[in-house]
Chains A and B, each alone.
Chain A
Amino acid sequence: MKRLQQSAAIALVLASLLFDDISAQWNVARFDTRPNRIYVDPAFFPAVGYSRVTSFFGHSVQLGIDAGVVAAELDRHDFRGRLHLLTSIMSWRSLHVTGSTALIARGTDNSIYRGYNFGADVSASLGVYRTGWFLAAECGFDKSGATHIEHSDWYRTYFFPDAQDGWYRNPGGTIHFGLSAGVTIGKSELMARFGQLRTEDLNELTPPMYVSIGLGFSF
């Protein structure tokens, strides 16, 4: 049982690390009540963000920005920043089809390389969105456009002296599909997401799932 608990905890940490775009799925049914939202992910990839609902040709669109760093030792070299957009594409009563997109910049620094990366995420959901709660099925694709890699001295010296620094094209992408849900308590909103992850070629990832939680405050 102890092993099971430990494995589950590790999986949860890694899953939250991989996929933590809490902003991507707030309750679209509340767009017309309070336009501004600040939010935080208090979990393993500490992130903060701000979003604002605005009208675009009469259509409510939430625009936002957030940033976070990896939890382990709050490593500032392992970071992510996002500009994102969320809207309800079509609806019938409380049933909504939502769409979101984000431009993403990421960084990492590990034992073999320091990297920077630019990409985009496109996601969609289908679910019931009421002002007090929502529940939706979601899927999406996070595509890395290009990654810049600078190899560490350790990797060059002891393993591969001819490793090439520079920009790498089409370095990869991640497909995700799962569920999201949220509840509203006064001005606050608590939401959670979980699901499965695959590479763009549908190969397994470590970990194979994602988990995300977010706490927002609207005003």
Chain B
Amino acid sequence: MQFKQWAPVTLVLLVACDDMMDPGEPGYLVPMTVAEDASIPAIDMNGSRFHMETFGNPTDPVIIFLHGGPGGDYRSMLPMGQRYDGYSLADDFFLVFWDQRGSGLSRRHDKDVLTIDVYTNDLNELVNRYAPGRQVFLIGHSWGGMYSTRYINEHPTRVAGAVLIEPGPLDGPTFESIKDEMFDFNLGAEWLNDWAWNSQFLSPDDHARMDYERMLGLKDSQPRYHQRMDENPAPFWRLGAAASKYLKEDGDSDSGIAVYDFTDQLSAYLTPVLFITGSLNEVIGEEFQRDQMHNYPVASLVVVDNAGHDLEWTHTREVLFHVRAYLDELEGGVS
């Protein structure tokens, strides 16, 4: 066949390829982060760039919200800044919502700066930025409750109070004791098959494809957490797969056993801490949190009826009721 006959075919193929999208380019499979889209609200801090929003008067006491994961984002916590029954936390507090390092719409990073120590430094920088010389309140959900505890353990004098909404295991041995219950590893589980089979379609060779793949486990992997998944589930902008993977590894020994301990200095923290849990979670619900409370010298627990692990999203009004009551009690303690 002559070149003249091949040329149109080759041209069509080249044009077709040119029209194809790049799966590693943010904006196609997953949203852009603050590193690619300057219109997303962000701050530069501790060698990274973070997606964040604030509400209220900066001179009011500061509440910092810590989302779940590691690798989640604050989208499902945003309703906690809204007005319910005529009241918003922003009436009395300065609210700081942020996506943690490598998560949500914050800048992506590789393994070397996705560690528990770097995360602790990030939060300390955030505290110093919005409450220099003052204390802050922390409200953490799931991993965010663990992260709050880690920060209190390291910087107890900077925290005026904390609300831990169904926090994950606060130390490695506790994690090891429940890790087989956390995910549905049924041999025929559709989500497991989908996850493995997905790598034949999109190799996880960059952050966009890794984060996209991470979404595959979201819907069905944790049935015993009783989250609302089919209709109006707790939303995310974008999961951070590398943050999830490497933060977990940083808390493990070389043989993969969880050995982290966020509690070894908590005995010095005498401020009351509020635990909130849903009544439905079969893994890290009421019974589990009653055990975890003992890590703090002064702690109380409230249980939200008919709520699963996503109670910050599905039962925002009830959660805020308990948060407000707790903060009202502590109000005099803000320095």
Contacts and interface: CB of A to CB of B under 8 A. Distances in A.
A166 B180 CA distance: 38
Interface string A11-29: 0011001100000000000
Nearest to B219: A111
Contact of B187 (A13, A111, A200): A13
B20 A146 contact: yes
A55 interface: no
Contacts of B194: 78, 108, 110-111
Contact of B204 (A6, A9, A203): A203
Given A154-B219, A159-B235, A203-B205, A10 B197 contact: no
Contacts, number: 153
A158 B219 CA distance: 12
Contacts of B303: none
Question: Chain B contact residues: over half helix, strand or loop, or mixed?
Answer: loop
Contact of B201 (A17, A73, A115): A115
Interface residues of A, number: 52
Given A73-B190, A199-B205, A167 B21 contact: yes
A70 B201 contact: no
15 contacts: A18-B199, A18-B200, A73-B188, A108-B200, A110-B194, A154-B219, A160-B237, A163-B30, A166-B21, A168-B28, A168-B29, A169-B20, A170-B23, A205-B204, A207-B196
Given A170-B23, A171-B203, A206-B199, 19 more contacts: A13-B187, A14-B196, A70-B193, A71-B193, A72-B193, A75-B190, A80-B200, A110-B194, A146-B20, A149-B29, A160-B238, A168-B20, A171-B201, A199-B204, A201-B205, A203-B205, A205-B203, A205-B204, A206-B196
Interface of A: 3, 6, 9-10, 13-14, 17-18, 70-73, 75, 78, 80, 106, 108, 110-112, 115, 117, 119, 142, 144, 146-147, 149, 154-155, 158-160, 162-164, 166-174, 199-201, 203, 205-207
